Every structure is written in structure tokens, then in C-alpha cells.
């Protein structure tokens, strides 16, 4: 009998060790799945009442070129000056103005001036602009200041071939790319904004010896409301956040979590009481 008991004991001991390992692996996989999901299903972010379903990833990531048009204005000073000639200010989420204080102190400004007729080209690297399939705006230009200074908007898939998608104005900071024949199957990584020189803009405003305005549109941020995340910063056409990929990810995550929870319940409550030999 002792031989049989020993064999039973051995058999119970080994599975318990394996169970611990299996349970740990399942828990780890669940954690990985949750992290992947949190990446794939980013929380909606709202700026100035404009919703960005993909969150902060929606905004432009790098500067391709900055070509301001700079000249001496009536005060014999450059119409675009430091620190409003730093194109990096146009990247990331809006951070230069707020709805209550459209013109905060200069030290709180983080926007870049184009100068009359100047332009800036930005690139989305961890996301791409796409269409919504309807008339809702897909792109939003955050322009600093009390009133929007107009820019012409062009978008590109490869940074070489450009497509005009309209112009912003005082009432419209949003651009609907579906209206120009594009849709949810199109992915754009580049955007070029060119100040409309015909608009009745100032070329720099001096008040009581203090500069309070700069020439042309002042770009704070550029965000894709209709945005897809990209697997690679190199690829322009491999969106991870396709509905199909998300669904698969959800199914895998839920399945792993269910197995882990089921196993925990089994080990804790349903396992035969002989398990005390396991220790």
C-alpha cells in the first residue's frame, strides 16, 4: 500500500507545480492582452469640444518642412520672430490657447507662425488620417488666437503627391476629406498647411512696445479625428486598428482571461480535497 500511496502523492505533487506554472503563464498572457488592448483601444480625448476617438496619438508627430515667409513689417521688424518660428510647436496635442483665454501670456504660447503665405508640412508617424465615410470632419487645425487665420489644407499618402482638401476659416477649423472623394480605405500620413495670403491678416501686431501677434496663421496643433494607428512608424499602410484586428484581439483577450479565471476557480474551490497532499 505504501508504494501505491507514494505514487499517488508523486502524481498529485507534480501536477500542482505544473498548475502553478500554467496559472502564472495564463495570468501573464492576460496582462499582455490587457496592455495590447489598452494600446489598441485608446481612450477618446477631447480638446476644445472636439473629440478625438483615438486619443493623443491622433496628432501630428514630426515636422517635414517649415517654410515661413518672413519680411520686415511696418515696424521694421520681422513679421515672424522667436519663439513663434519653432515648427515643433505644431506637434502633439493643443497646448497654446484655451477657450477661456484665447490669447494667454506669451510664455504660455506654443504655436508656430507661418507668415503671410508661408507653409508647414507635418507627418503622422504612429497614426494616419483617414475618412469617416460621412460628412463629419476628419481633420482639425488648432490655430492660436482669437480668430482663425485661414490656411489651405493639403494631404498626401507618400509626401510627394498632394491632394487639396479645402481651407479653414473663422467658422471652420475642421476638414471633411470624404467631401473630396476620400474615405475610410484611404490613409494619409502627411499634411501641408499654407497660409492664405489673400486673407485680411496682420503681419505682426505691436501694442505698447509688446508684440501680441505674428504674421499669418499661428498653428498650435493638427489632429486626425478620423485616425488609424500604425503597426510600424515606417509602414504607411498597415493599420493595426482595423476593426477586424481589434475584434480578434478582443476575442483572444477574453478567451485567455476566461481560461485564467476558470482555472483559478477550479484550483480554489472545485479541486478534490485530497489536494492537501500536494503541499
Instruction: Evaluate whether 62 touches 122 at the Cβ level (below 8 Å).
Output: yes
The interface region with Ca ion, picked from 24-32, 35-43, 71-79, 81-89 by CB under 5 A, is 81-89
* Secondary structure class of 112 (helix, strand, coil): strand
Quick one: 85 or 89, whose CB is closer to Ca ion?
89
87 closest CA partner among 122, 49, 58: 122
Report the distance separating Cα 98 and Cα 146, nearest Å: 10
Report the distance separating Cα 125 and Cα 235, nearest Å: 9
The interface region with Ca ion, picked from 16-24, 102-110, 161-169, 233-241 by CB under 5 A, is 102-110
Quick one: 22 or 93, whose CB is closer to Ca ion?
93
Q: Which of 45, 95, 238, 245 binds Ca ion (CB under 5 A)?
A: 95
Quick one: 33 or 80, whose CB is closer to Ca ion?
80
Instruction: Evaluate whether 50 touches 93 at the Cβ level (below 8 Å).
Output: no
Cα first-last separation, the chain: 21
Interaction of residue 186 with Ca ion, rule CB under 5 A: no
# chain residues binding Ca ion, by CB under 5 A: 16
Instruction: Evaluate whether 223 touches 59 at the Cβ level (below 8 Å).
Output: yes
Q: Note the Cα 40 to chain centre separation in Å.
A: 11
Using CB under 5 A, which residues numbered 158 to 177 contact Ca ion?
176
Positive/negative CA dihedral, 117, 218, 176, 121: positive
Provide CB contacts within 8 A for 51, sequence distance 6+: 44, 45, 225
Provide CB contacts within 8 A for 160, sequence distance 6+: none
Using CB under 5 A, which residues numbered 117 to 156 contact Ca ion?
124, 126-127, 132, 136, 138
The closest residue (CB) to Ca ion is 132
Quick one: 89 or 119, whose CB is closer to Ca ion?
89
- Nearest distance from residue 57's CB to Ca ion, in Å? 5
Interaction of residue 96 with Ca ion, rule CB under 5 A: yes
Using CB under 5 A, which residues numbered 212 to 271 contact Ca ion?
220-221
Quick one: 126 or 238, whose CB is closer to Ca ion?
126
Quick one: 30 or 182, whose CB is closer to Ca ion?
182
Query: Interface with Ca ion by CB under 5 A: which residues?
Result: 57, 61, 89, 95-96, 110, 124, 126-127, 132, 136, 138, 176, 178, 220-221
Amino acid at each position: 500500500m505504501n508504494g501505491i500511496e507514494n505514487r499517488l502523492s508523486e502524481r498529485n505533487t507534480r501536477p500542482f507545480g505544473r498548475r502553478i506554472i500554467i496559472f502564472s503563464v495564463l495570468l501573464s498572457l492576460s496582462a499582455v492582452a490587457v496592455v495590447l488592448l489598452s494600446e489598441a483601444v485608446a481612450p477618446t480625448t477631447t480638446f476644445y469640444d472636439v473629440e478625438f476617438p483615438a486619443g493623443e496619438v491622433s496628432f501630428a508627430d514630426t515636422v517635414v518642412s517649415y517654410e515661413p515667409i518672413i519680411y520686415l513689417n511696418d515696424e521694421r521688424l520681422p513679421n515672424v520672430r522667436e519663439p513663434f518660428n519653432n515648427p515643433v510647436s505644431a506637434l502633439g496635442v493643443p497646448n497654446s490657447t484655451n477657450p477661456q483665454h484665447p490669447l494667454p501670456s506669451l510664455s504660455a504660447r506654443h504655436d508656430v507662425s507661418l507668415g503671410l503665405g508661408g507653409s508647414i508640412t507635418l507627418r503622422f508617424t504612429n497614426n494616419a488620417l483617414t475618412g469617416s465615410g460621412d460628412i463629419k470632419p476628419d481633420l482639425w487645425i488648432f490655430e492660436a488666437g482669437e480668430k482663425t487665420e485661414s490656411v489651405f489644407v493639403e494631404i498626401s499618402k507618400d509626401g510627394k503627391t498632394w491632394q487639396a482638401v479645402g481651407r479653414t476659416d473663422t467658422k471652420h477649423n475642421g476638414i471633411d476629406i470624404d467631401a473630396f472623394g476620400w474615405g475610410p480605405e484611404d490613409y494619409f500620413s502627411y499634411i501641408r498647411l499654407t497660409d492664405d495670403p489673400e486673407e485680411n491678416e496682420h503681419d505682426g501686431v505691436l501694442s505698447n512696445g509688446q508684440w501680441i501677434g505674428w504674421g499669418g496663421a499661428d498653428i498650435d496643433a493638427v489632429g486626425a479625428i478620423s485616425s488609424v494607428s500604425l503597426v510600424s512608424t515606417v509602414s504607411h499602410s498597415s493599420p493595426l486598428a482595423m476593426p477586424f484586428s481589434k475584434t480578434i484581439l478582443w476575442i483572444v483577450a477574453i478567451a485567455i482571461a476566461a481560461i485564467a479565471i476558470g482555472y483559478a476557480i477550479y484550483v480554489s474551490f472545485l479541486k478534490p480535497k485530497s489536494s492537501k497532499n500536494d503541499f
